[in-house]
Structure 1
Amino acid sequence: MRRIVVDTDTGIDDAHTLLYLAGRPDAEIVAITSVYGNCAEEDATRNIGYVARLLGLDAPVARGAAEPLRGPAHIAGHVHGKDGLGDLGLDRPLPPVAAESGPELLTRLANERPGELDLLALGPLTNLALALRQDPELFTKYRSVVLMGGSGPYAPPGTLLMIDANINNDPEAARAVFAAPRRELVMVGVNVTAGTILDEQAIAALRASAAPAARFATDILAAYLDFYQNEWGRRIIPLHDPLAAGVLLDPTFATAWTDGPVNVRGDGFLYRARLMRTHDGLPPAFPYEPAPATRVITAVDTRRFVADFVEVLTK
């Protein structure tokens, strides 16, 4: 059983992740913290409340960061809809929230239950960085920290990757996370999530199901499909955040990984978190900052994970 604290900028794939976690018998959602990213922080909190009510989930909710450590927030309304759940006009009142902030909740739970909890970060890493300011040893007190973000090792020459949005939204916070001491830090980046596709057949299976989770999962898909059809010419989506949850619960979904230092680097336009290795395992051709080893996922069994995701939501 994995007892999981979820930090989320609750957009469409974050909602799918909560549905997936709630449907897995080996997962317990212990608490949820909100952060800006796919939508504004208030919308992220409202969406947590909506999904929790749908699932009958009784876990404390704490409101987190509304903007990065520096600079303005970049909100992905063009991807997830302005409200984060596809702008369907859902009734989304604010749920009851804890008196403490998201970073305070992350810190308190880790110190009250050291070694018992896993932290799953699905959005910009601002809450985690703020929590590290309160407790620099925070990650040593979580059983594991698994994050959806990063771009893996340097790609083969001529290869382009999807934007590393969670890192790009707050590179300063990401630097603090990858530099912190930890028990286990796992990076599930766009190098593997972009190819983990919920295709037409899988979407049809969700639509055909009478299960409430599957119905909701397909109801909110339109905005996401509208965005990704411009990438591939097909109405399909990548399972970014759900894959990170899958790897946390079942590490055998990952078929290859490398342990090594991760740096956050910018190219003048965007920031990415990179394993400081080339695609063939060599160090990069420039100096880089030393950092504790992060487990960087480099390949996954996409067929098996997508099948599991669909099975869990259609139960």
Structure 2
Amino acid sequence: MSEARRIVVDTDTDTDDAHTLLYLAARPDAEIVAVTSVYGNCVDPDAVRNIGHVLRLLGLDVPIARGAAEPLAGPAHIAGHVHGSDGLGDLGYDRPMPAVSAESAAELLVRLAAEQPGELDLLALGPLTNLAAALRLDPDLFTRYRSVVLMGGSGPYAPPGTLLMIDANINNDPEAAGAVFAAPRRELVMVGVDVTGTTILDERAIAALRAAETPKARFATEILDAYLDFYQNEWGRRVIPLHDPLAAGILLDPGFATAWVDGPVNVRTDGFLSRARLMRTHDGLPPAFPYQAAPPTRVITQVDAPRFVADFVEMLTR
């Protein structure tokens, strides 16, 4: 087995973020070094409480730092209708506020990278506000992380007539996302909704989780109902995409990605929603408008969804 990846997780801890922490803790090639909170699918105080709740369930004692409660500009858009108002399905868990670092999330991200350059990976699962704040403290921050992998973006421009899920993590703070994609880096990997939306935890996989006796699997299925309620209105089935877990899987095993393109990413808006896009059309051509130059980002365009879903279920049920 290769050396374990030592990972700092930045998260707006909701259902699939909690699933991601469970998955990382179960993987023998991963070590969670620290966790930072950010608003997004719940308000920041709930994100912090949820981090503490999941880490206690896992028996992990790692630093937790509080991060942004709102975007760099404009109001926060909290998706309580997707994961429940508390982010974990409003099941009434006792979620005391955990002990948190005296440092902000941005300060912790900067310090850890400076102390251990090239040794840590940064996994961003929510709006990119904390990362942008950290870049203001250290513009070369991403060159000090072994890699930065984020769940967000929409890949290259899709073929005409194709519809995509909302690019929520980017849309929640387009200004922060723009700063992230413009920053110098060692390796930046974008795992967008165009690929995470194809990685489905279906009825059979959910049944396997429900049948397992592990505390991780029990908790993972307890918090599913609000999320399933939301996605049944999309697909008519009680299934969910594994958005954030897929980003973690690709960080640990790049072989889950079967195709990618390296190129510049810009954050674009249609006047209603913002997306992070690889500045290429679906057939590899440049877009029909001027765009900003940016360092290359590795944009995942296809994944081995069945293999990843099988690995996710195995990790939570073993």
Select which of 197, 202, 205 maps to 2:205. 202
Select which of 69, 73, 80 maps to 1:66. 69
Partner of 1:125: 128
Distance (Å, rounded) in 2 between the aligned partners of 1:69 and 1:92:
28
Alignment pair present for 1:40 and 2:33? no
Alignment pair present for 1:278 and 2:287? no
Secondary structure at the residue paired with 1:178? Answer: helix
Partner of 2:269: 266
Structure 1: gaps (5+ residues): none
Partner of 1:185: 188
Distance (Å, rounded) in 2 between the aligned partners of 1:119 and 1:272:
21
Question: How far 1:302 sits from its partner (Å)?
Answer: 0.2
Secondary structure at the residue paired with 1:100? Answer: coil
Distance (Å, rounded) in 1 between the aligned partners of 2:97 and 2:300:
36
Question: How far 1:68 sits from its partner (Å)?
Answer: 0.1
Root-mean-square deviation over aligned CA pairs = 0.2
Distance (Å, rounded) in 2 between the aligned partners of 1:4 and 1:78:
29
Partner of 2:138: 135
Map 1:179-258 → 2, pairs under 5 A: 179-258=182-261
User: For residue 306 of structure 1, what is the amino acid of its counterpart?
Assistant: V
Question: How far 1:241 sits from its partner (Å)?
Answer: 0.1
Distance (Å, rounded) in 1 between the aligned partners of 2:96 and 2:266:
39
Select which of 157, 160, 165 maps to 1:162. 165
Question: How far 1:190 sits from its partner (Å)?
Answer: 0.2
Residues 157-200 of structure 1, C-alpha deviations (whole Å, 9 max, x = no match):
00000000000000000000000000000000000000100000
User: For residue 42 of structure 2, what is the amino acid of its counterpart?
Assistant: C
User: For residue 247 of structure 2, what is the amino acid of its counterpart?
Assistant: A
* TM-score for the superposition, normalised by structure 1: 1.00
Distance (Å, rounded) in 2 between the aligned partners of 1:98 and 1:155:
42
Select which of 166, 173, 178 maps to 2:176. 173
Once superposed, which parts of structure 1, at least 4 consecutive aligned residues long, lie more than 3 Å away? none
Secondary structure at the residue paired with 1:213? Answer: helix
Question: How far 1:304 sits from its partner (Å)?
Answer: 0.2
Partner of 2:97: 94
Number of corresponding residues = 315
Question: How far 1:144 sits from its partner (Å)?
Answer: 0.1
Residues 112-155 of structure 1, C-alpha deviations (whole Å, 9 max, x = no match):
00000000000000000000000000000000000000000000
Residues 188-227 of structure 1, C-alpha deviations (whole Å, 9 max, x = no match):
0000000100000000000000011000000000000000
Question: How far 1:248 sits from its partner (Å)?
Answer: 0.1
Distance (Å, rounded) in 1 between the aligned partners of 2:94 and 2:74:
31
Alignment pair present for 1:14 and 2:7? no
* TM-score for the superposition, normalised by structure 2: 0.99
Partner of 2:290: 287
User: For residue 150 of structure 1, what is the amino acid of its counterpart?
Assistant: G
Distance (Å, rounded) in 2 between the aligned partners of 1:200 and 1:108:
43
Structure 2: gaps (5+ residues): none
